Amino acid sequence: MSLCLAFSIYTRIYITNIITKLLEEELWAGWGQNIRDHLAQPGVAAWWKSKSYLYAKSFREYINSGKCPRN
């Protein structure tokens, strides 16, 4: 899966969860772990720094704040 697609999915899940609060905390924590795993890779971290502007401002702020939930 391309990084653009993966982070588009992460953004949609994040925005949907913010609006609806339908995701259980445990489920969102799994997605958060996936995001952190991606960003722990140096190439992905560099890509995020150069391409994060493509994603919703609230999602960028959330990711850059380090608030992704942990399992």
Which single residue is written with the structure tokens 């992704």?
A: 68
Bigger pLDDT: 66 or 15?
Answer: 15
- Express each pLDDT in 7-37 by its tens digit: 999 999 888 888 888 888 888 888 888 899 9
Residue boundaries of the structural domains of the chain = 3-64
Q: Are 36 and 68 in contact (CB under 8 A)?
A: yes
Bigger pLDDT: 69 or 14?
Answer: 14
Q: Decide if pLDDT at 71 tops 60.
A: no
- The answer to whether the Cα torsion of 41, 43, 45, 51 is positive or negative is negative
Model-level pTM? 0.82
Q: Are 63 and 35 in contact (CB under 8 A)?
A: yes
